[in-house]
Amino acid sequence: MDKSTDLSETPRTEASFTTVPIEITVSVGRARPIVRDLLQLEEGSVLVLDKRVEDPVELYVGDRLIATGVLEITETGENHGQLCVRLVDVNDFGNTHG
C-alpha cells in the first residue's frame, strides 16, 4: 500500500479531532400526508406529526441514533427562552480509546 494512503501509521492527534464540529439532527416526529394534501400546503397550514410535545425526541448524527431526550425551554442564562433538548438516554458506543 502506498504510504500516502496508509492512515494506520498517521499519528493520532485526538485534541485536534475532538474540536471538529458535527451536526446533530433532532427528530421531533414524522408526518405522512398524501400527495394531494401536501400540494395544498400553504403558509399557515398545520402539519400534524405522529408525536406529542411531551414525547421523547431522537438525536442523530447522520443516520445513526445517538440519544433520546425531551424538549425543554431554557429558563436562565444567555439562551433564556431557547428550545433545547435534555438527554435522557445516550447510546453506549463502547470504549474508543486504545
Question: pLDDT tens-digit profile of 7-20?
Answer: 555 555 667 788 89
Amino acid 92: pLDDT: 86
Query: Is 49 within 8 Å of 33 (Cβ atoms)?
Result: no
- The yes-or-no verdict on residue 97 having pLDDT over 80 is no
CA–CA separation, 31 and 8 (whole Å): 44
- The yes-or-no verdict on residue 98 having pLDDT over 90 is no
Amino acid 17: pLDDT: 81
pTM assigned to the model: 0.70
Residue recorded with cell 464540529: 21
Cβ atoms < 10 Å from Cβ of 85: 18
- The yes-or-no verdict on residue 51 having pLDDT over 80 is yes
94 vs 6 pLDDT, higher one = 94
- The yes-or-no verdict on residue 88 having pLDDT over 90 is yes
Segment 21-43 shows an average pLDDT of 95
φ/ψ (deg, to 5) at 83: -70, 135
Between strands 83-90 and 25-27, the pairing is unpaired
Amino acid 74: pLDDT: 93
